[in-house]
Copies of this chain bind each other. A is one copy, B any other.
Amino acid sequence: MPEGTPRGDFETGLTTDDQLDLRTWLRLLTCANMIEGEVRAKLRTAFDITIARFDLLAQLDRADPTDRGLTMGELSRRLMVTNGNVTALIDRLVGEKLVVRRADPDDRRAQIIELTPNGRRAFAKMSQAHASWITGLFDGVDRKNLEALYRNLAELKTSLKADSDMEGH
C-alpha cells in the first residue's frame, strides 16, 4: 500500500481521513458547547436574557443604521430560525421595550423591527459584558494558535455554506 493512502479501519469501515473529519467535528462541538453554556448562564444571571434574544438584538444592532430596521422575514433568514419563532421572540422583546414594531410604508403585510433607544443602550452593555466574558475564556490561548484557528474556521465556514447552498439545486 502506497504511503499516505488512507487506511481503512476494519471495525467501522472508516478511513483515517473520515476519522479526522469526525474528530474535528466532535472537538469543535465540545468547545462550542462549553463556551455557549458559560455565555448562556452569564447572560441569564446578568441580564435575564437568552442567547436567542441576544442574537436577535445583535442582528438589529449590526444592521446598517442608515437603513430602517429589519423585517420579520429578514430576521428569520439571518437567524436561521422559522418565522413563527421570530414572532415569539419579538413579542417578548417588545414587552421588555427593547424593540418596536413599525408598519412598513411600502408593504402593508410587512413589519419593520427597530431597536428602541433604550434597547440600543441595553444591548451595548450586554455586548460589552459578552465580549469581556469571551476574552476571559480565551485568556490562556496562544495568540498564534488563535489566529490560525480564526483563519481555518473561515475556510470551514465557506465550505459548509457552499454545501447548504447546493441543497436546493
Chain A positions near chain B (C-beta within 8 angstroms):
12-14, 17-18, 20-25, 27-38, 80, 127-128, 130-132, 134-143, 145-150, 152-157, 159-164
Contacts and interface: CB of A to CB of B under 8 A. Distances in A.
Given A18-B132, A25-B137, 13 more contacts: A12-B131, A14-B131, A18-B131, A21-B137, A25-B138, A28-B153, A30-B157, A37-B80, A137-B160, A140-B162, A141-B155, A148-B152, A149-B152
Contacts of A31: 28, 32, 153, 156-157, 160
Given A27-B154, A135-B21, A160 B13 contact: no
A37 to B, nearest CB: 7
| Interface secondary structure of A, over-half rule | helix
Contacts of A140: 159, 162-163
A131 B17 CA distance: 11
Count copies of this chain in the complex: 2
A13 to B, nearest CB: 7
Nearest to A14: B131
Most buried by B among A17, A18, A33, A160: A160
A152 B141 CA distance: 9
A106 to B, nearest CB: 31
Contacts of A80: 33-34, 37
Contacts of A131: 12, 14, 18, 21-22
